[in-house]
Structure 1
Amino acid sequence: MEIRQGARLRGLRIGEDEVVTALEFGDETLALGDGDSVILAVPPWEAARLLPGLPVPVAHAPILNLHFAHQTPGPVRFLGVLGGLCQWVLVRPDTVAVTVSAADAEAREAAEDLAPRAWAEIRALAAAFGLPGEWPETPPPCRAVKEKRATPRHRPGDPAPPPVLVLPNLALAGDWMEPVLPATIDAAVRAGRRAAKSLG
């Protein structure tokens, strides 16, 4: 199996018998054989672009991640927080990472404003849990990553998810295709397994 980086799928070539016959990657077209199948694990808006008319979630919530450069002697800790800016804090040997889900307001703020607020909460966590290392009052260098369409917003009246097997040799995967779990890595894994099973 060959893994290709930076090769965006531009289109699907579908034959008269409603099976995918080729994958179009810009200047290259990858023809499929009779026994080949496709698992399409892309965000919902990309799935709708490749398969016009496919019912997909159209509203999404942003996620904010803050990554602080900080040396911590360990062990690795994963902490959940209630009532603050931070929701999840992952303390690793060289980084402290913060995740804020459904970050509608926070995604509009500048990193320079978010970092001191988050760092104050992290210092309080370090004191409460006795985390080793130095936790200075001044925030260390911080990188903010904002993903505007991170997770689908499920609203009353939204269309039902599409079937897993949308064409005889094409199945859908991705965290948004998992009907039980929220859009997480676990959901993506379960959706991928279900897609593979549907193709036999």
Structure 2
Amino acid sequence: MQPIRYLTAQLRTFADENHYLFSLNDLRSLFPSLEHNACKALLARSVRSGLLMRVCQGVYLYPFVSYPKGLVLFHTAAKFRPQHFNYLSLETVLSDVGIISQMPTHWITVMSSGRSSVVRCGDFGTIEYIHTKKKPANLIGQLQYDSRCRLWRASPSLALRDLQTTKRNTDLVDWEVAREFIQQTGQ
């Protein structure tokens, strides 16, 4: 069977609303005998034909299943750096709880054990990874797994500390709301 037909059949069989994003390694595993460059050429053809959408470098979306469009950026962040410790923090968390009133749309901030970088994901938005040396064991009780986003999420107090530690702009922080929120929730 031709590789493109085989890929199409595999995606039709296995993709669903929970499994609609695929890393380069996920897709390469379907073609163990195909050389790296040949696999990349196959994926490029798949994108050109509309079988796959390239979200960002190394992450592809199968558009023929129902998927949570508002969560693609979060799911991509989880898929993009699976070998690193990552958690939502900074402006993303603070905006979600109302401590920061303005947050760029289609932009998420993720603390990561990997290097700092900005990953552009086309129409889906941008993921900003900020390097941290913090270890998961030292953050017990300050992180909660967000199954909807498929990422760990910092508590608001940790997100505020991360904001200060990374020397990011704190002008948008409503400190009165922050103190109230932390007192009320204990987070």
TM-score of the pair, normalised by structure 2:
0.25
User: Greater helix percent: which structure?
Assistant: 2
Structure with the bigger RCO (C-alpha within 8 Å, sep 6+) is: 1
Pick the structure with more strand per residue. Answer: 1
Computing the radius of gyration over CA atoms, which structure comes out larger, 1 or 2? 1
TM-score, scaled to structure 1: 0.24
